[in-house]
Structure 1
Amino acid sequence: MSPVGTPGIVVAVDGSAQADAAVAWATQEAIMRQLPITLLHVVTPLETGWPPGPMHEGVPTWQADEATRILTRAREVVESNRGEAGSPEVHAEMAYAQVVSTLIGATKGSWMTVTGSTGLGSIGRLLLGSVSTSLIHHGYGPIAVIGNDRTGAKDAPVVVGIDGSPVSERATALAFDEASRRGVSLVALHAWSDVGVMPILNMDRRSYEVQGHEVLAERLAGYQEQYPDVTVERRVLCDQPARWLLKAADNAQLVIVGSHGRGGFASQLLGSVSSAVAHGARTPVIVVRPDPS
């Protein structure tokens, strides 16, 4: 077994269909990037005064057996999704601790953390929806949220939300890299969230659009030189960034956003935007969180 937080891709697994989808997606990502993958199942300690029964290395035997079944199932999903590209290096880890804090800790040492959008958590008491929400608000690095009902054509573009913040900058870098590796185009979306006050303050909508195009040109210039193979479609839109990102997600294979930044998405924390997109999009979503440092 590998330690939690092995540099590579960590996937939270719980035996649900959503977790299986997360493992399948993570397998392809690991193969594409030649990274190891760690399947992590967290067993929640029982909160009861009754004796837990037979124990296995400090864990009630029935919970340990269930964890083994779940991890075995996750390995099978990896094998069934590796195709002809070969299997990535796979590790399995069981942790006997609180789910959310353990997974947040795992994000500190992983390149990317992947979780299902919903699903049963440890011993059926915690929804993975709650776990994914906690990770995209408190985790570190890229957090991928995957659902078994989230699909996207392999030739569909990657979508990135850009606001000019440091976290948005990292999201943009990842989006270009993902689009290049997948051989698809990139849709760069920039939206203003305070347009609704323009009539009150007598603001000129055109000035927002001009400024938005300037932000996009500035933020995309260096990456377009670094990734000349990626065709970029620029979209400057007014108001409701989450709404426009969700609409763009319908025709994308992946959406990437930053978390907790200000800029083009003025007056609205990207944390709320990223949460809305992660749980509402019909395609896989990567929320880029700040690094542990």
Structure 2
Amino acid sequence: MSDSTENYGILVGVDGSAESDAAVRWAAREAALYGAPVTLVHVIQPILVSWPIGQYGATVIDWQDENAQTVIEQARKTVRACVEESRLPSIRAEIRKDVAAGGLIEASKTAQMLVVGRRGVGALDHVVMGSVSTGVLHHARGPVVVVHTDDEWSRENGLPVLLGVDGSPASEEATARAFDEASRRGVDLVALHAWSDAGVVAALGMDEREVEGEGQELLAERLAGWQERYPDVEVHRRIACDWPAHRLLEEARRAQLVVLGSHGRGGFTGMLLGSVSSRVAQSAATPVMVVRPR
């Protein structure tokens, strides 16, 4: 079944899990901000066996089809409960038969962003991030948002957008997105630059004040043009001598959205996902947007 077109707008992967529902709510509110369509995608994974499945297989396939329709309909209701339908151009739906991550990755090519729950159906309590969310973080085209919980309180209380800045090309794309997100929400932007840790600075005989000064210069350079473009966004610059992932996770507790590049200063064009982005997406309770290249 499909009632979507080439422009998927805000694309959200749905599977009926609690975190999938949170992703749907987050995506619905994001679509309202952008005036974009919401496209709900449920992927039915093929049955892979090495023997004839007979009637049992047909029963499973029928159940998958029925379950897919149920999941999609519930997701539609969730969208409508979050925002007025008049604020969205459309609510679309698509059911694909593919490996779950693969179906979403393919659809992400023409979406403004892809939103997924951190864990899906069948994830164990001790599993931090599911295979689908991991797969799309490494391979999707464009921004990917991983949602653990949709904390409406953080939006209502105007918590800021948190941006991780490291000076890389991927960080530049994330900076553009973070300013846009903060502007649309009418909230401040916290720009954080963190480097290594105090032990490394001391071991190399570096002056921490000098390193901090270089960090301030980097932030000033990377933010200057964007602050001119978004004068409505108040920016708070933060410099930290700490492991980047650790400090980002600390700051994320006081933010409504974290925005990161897909890989940092040590990354290269063919690299899939940086360790900082991966760890923050896996561990933060706050929604995390990883801005992947098209």
Q: What is the TM-score with the length of structure 2 in the denominator?
A: 0.88
Extract unaligned runs of 5+ from structure 1.
264-268
Distance in 1 between the 2:11 and 2:200 partners? 43
Gap change, CA 1:99 and 1:166, over 3 Å in 2: same
- In the TM superposition, residue 189 of structure 1 has moved relative to its aligned partner by 0.2
- Deviations along 1:157-180, one digit per CA (max 9) or x if unpaired, are 110001111111111111111111
Equivalent residue runs for 1:78-97 within 5 Å = 78-83=79-84, 86-97=87-98
Distance in 1 between the 2:180 and 2:159 partners? 15
Alignment match of 1:204 (pick from 203, 207, 210): 207
- Partner in structure 1 of residue 265 of structure 2: 262
Stretches (4+) displaced over 6 A: none
Distance in 1 between the 2:83 and 2:147 partners? 17
Distance in 2 between the 1:158 and 1:279 partners? 18
> Is 1:188 equivalent to 2:191 in the alignment?
yes
> Is 1:168 equivalent to 2:171 in the alignment?
yes
> Is 1:214 equivalent to 2:217 in the alignment?
yes
- In the alignment, residue 224 of structure 1 is paired with which amino acid? Q
- Partner in structure 2 of residue 63 of structure 1: 64
- In the TM superposition, residue 28 of structure 1 has moved relative to its aligned partner by 0.7
Q: What is the TM-score with the length of structure 1 in the denominator?
A: 0.88
Equivalent residue runs for 1:118-267 within 5 Å = 118-120=119-121, 129-148=130-149, 150=151, 152-154=154-156, 155-193=158-196, 195-262=198-265
8 Å CA contact 1:153–1:252 kept in 2: the answer is no
- Deviations along 1:122-181, one digit per CA (max 9) or x if unpaired, are 9xxx99622112222222211001123655243111100011111111111111111111
- Partner in structure 2 of residue 266 of structure 1: none
Distance in 1 between the 2:182 and 2:165 partners? 15
State the identity %. Answer: 51
The DSSP-based 3-state class of the residue aligned with 2:115 is strand
- In the TM superposition, residue 290 of structure 1 has moved relative to its aligned partner by 1.3
Extract unaligned runs of 5+ from structure 2.
267-271
- In the alignment, residue 138 of structure 1 is paired with which amino acid? H
- Deviations along 1:94-144, one digit per CA (max 9) or x if unpaired, are 11111122222222221100000112169xxx9962211222222221100
- In the alignment, residue 119 of structure 1 is paired with which amino acid? G
Q: Aligned residues, how many?
A: 282
CA RMSD of aligned residues (A): 2.5
- In the alignment, residue 92 of structure 1 is paired with which amino acid? A
- In the alignment, residue 47 of structure 1 is paired with which amino acid? L
